[in-house]
Amino acid sequence: MSQTSFEIQQAAVIGAGTMGRGIVMCLANAGVSVQWVDNNPQMLEQALMAVAETYAHNVRQGRIDQAEADTRIARVSAAADYATIRNVDLVIEAVYENLELKQKIFRELDGLLKPEALLASNTSALDIDAIAAATRRPAQVLGLHFFSPAHIMKLLEIVRGAQTSPAALEAALALGKRMGKVSVVSGNCHGFIGNRMLHPYVLEARKMLLEGAYPQQVDSALQGFGFAMGPFRMYDVVGIDLEWRARELAGKGQDAPEVQIDNRLCEMGRFGQKSGNGYYHYEPGSRQAEHDPEVDALVLRVSEELGFQRRDIGPEEILERCLLALVNEGAKILQEGIAGSAHDIDLVYLNGYGFPAKKGGPMAWADHQGLADIHQRLLALETRQGDQWKPARLIGELAAQGRGFADR
Ligand code: NAD
């Protein structure tokens, strides 16, 4: 087998939750046969039914015919244990976000699978090198980070570990193409490209709630800019409780002022769309986010309890802080070589995070503003609000040369 001709014909997916279901369909749709493992047999049974129901829905909508649906369903089979999947070319793991659990699974699979098989994790943020270190085949280990719902969202972040081989990356890129994904290769860092940039963006949004804004104001400003969803509507869709539980489990981060509103919402059982209430209210069976005065009252109460002197925060400030937070982190990702180009970062934000297509992505938007201007604006924020706004070195360098991110 040549280095670049490794073609994935048979795959296995570990985990039959939200992500496993979408990933299985991506593979089946691309003509790859999939064996599916979950240590909870009931979960696997439900997941197989959910996949069949999605295909039946596609048939009802006229997207595929019954014969095609039957072919795709026939590609998917339940596997009782890891020994059953020993001949596959690729395993994609999508179990709970827990490093020790993922390492244990990778170690076990490494002992069973053929040497050339690839082992991928769908982790959202964990260290791919630490996962690879549990195996004797780190060159064959990588991240395949799908976005929810995986069979619909176009973006695939392919995470290159320190030892991931070019052949493994080629095979992953070829698979991404077969699945019709927009694939972007990312280096290994916490959150990779997309979620790493999301962190400071959301942090600004949360801080502004404490300083004087309300969720609907923040979301309206960003949606007015063209985002598919503002950050608080996004949290309602994803589930506010995911990060809350993760902080609880990790035993850290729960005391930060910025997460106090999230914490209160979760303590009230307001997890987002799935529980009918989150930052917004949802009528039964509806995904329409409705303004909820109770949430505004909670925001006011929490910020006053924390001693904030609230002030009016207009849409300009909301955009300035959220967008510049994205751009500054994007520039750091670029200067560290985590992303290969500014265009790759833009692809991530356009295809995975609802950044307005007309603006070309956060880095293209910054280029359009002019990096000298962006640099000045970051310095102004640094003066007013502190070190977190220190411009990335790359922005200063490019601004001094009169160049943009795209000119690198
Ligand atoms: P989930 O809780 O919906 O599903 C996890 C599944 O893993 C469950 O069915 C569980 O029974 C199974 N499982 C747990 N331990 C197992 C084991 N030892 N062996 C076999 N199966 C086991 O989780 P999810 O939302 O699908 O997330 C899965 C992974 O994908 C996580 O790493 C998460 O960070 C990542 N991810 C999630 C999203 C998202 O929006 N949900 C997006 C991108 C990536």
Q: What is residue 3's predicted lDDT score, i.e. its pLDDT?
A: 43
What's the whole-model pTM score?
0.95
- Averaged confidence pLDDT in the chain: 96
Amino acid identity, position 33? S
Distances (CA, A) of 250 to 195, 243, 244, 253, 261: 18, 10, 10, 8, 19
Cα–Cα separations (whole angstroms), residue 289 to 224, 264, 280: 16, 19, 5
Tell me the C-alpha distance between 18 and 157, whole Å: 18
What residue's CA is closest to ligand 1, atom 31? 97
At residue 5 the predicted structure's pLDDT band, cuts being 50, 70 and 90, is: low
Closest ligand 1 atom, CA of 93?
29
Using a pLDDT cut of 70, give the percent of the chain over it: 99
The predicted-structure confidence for 236-251, as pLDDT tens digits, reads as follows: 999 999 999 989 988 9
Identify which of 133, 152, 30, 15 has the alpha carbon closest to the alpha carbon of residue 79: 15
Contact 327, 366 (CB under 8 A): yes
Q: Are strands 155-160 and 141-146 parallel, antiparallel or unpaired?
A: antiparallel
Q: For residue 159, how many other CB atoms are within 10 A of its CB?
A: 30
pLDDT score at 79: 97
Burial class (CB in 10 A: 0-12, 13-18, 19+), 32: buried
Relative to beta strand 10-14, strand 76-78 is unpaired
Contact 222, 204 (CB under 8 A): no
Ligand 1 proximity of 388 Cβ (cutoff 6 Å): no
pLDDT digits (tens, 9 = 90+) for 256-268: 999 999 999 999 9
Name the pLDDT band for 349 (thresholds 50, 70, 90).
very high
- 274 C-alpha to ligand 1 centroid (Å): 17
pLDDT digits (tens, 9 = 90+) for 128-181: 999 999 999 999 999 999 999 999 999 999 999 999 999 999 999 999 999 999
Phi (first) and psi of residue 171, to 5 degrees: -65, -40
Does residue 1 carry a pLDDT above 70?
A: no
Instruction: Decide: 15 in ligand 1 pocket, CB within 6 A.
Output: yes
How many other C-beta atoms are found inside a 10 Å radius of the C-beta of residue 294?
Answer: 11
What is each CA distance from 10 to 120, 218, 279, 339, in whole angstroms?
14, 45, 42, 30
Class of residue 73 by CB neighbours under 10 A (exposed 0-12, middle 13-18, buried 19+): middle
Which residues are annotated as catalytic?
A: 145
Instruction: Say yes or no: CB of residue 124 within 6 Å of ligand 1.
Output: yes
Mutate to test the pocket of ligand 1, among 43, 124, 144 (most ligand atoms within 8 A of CB): 124
242 pocket-lining for ligand 1 (C-beta < 6 Å): no
Q: Which residue is closest in CA terms to ligand 1's atom 29?
A: 94
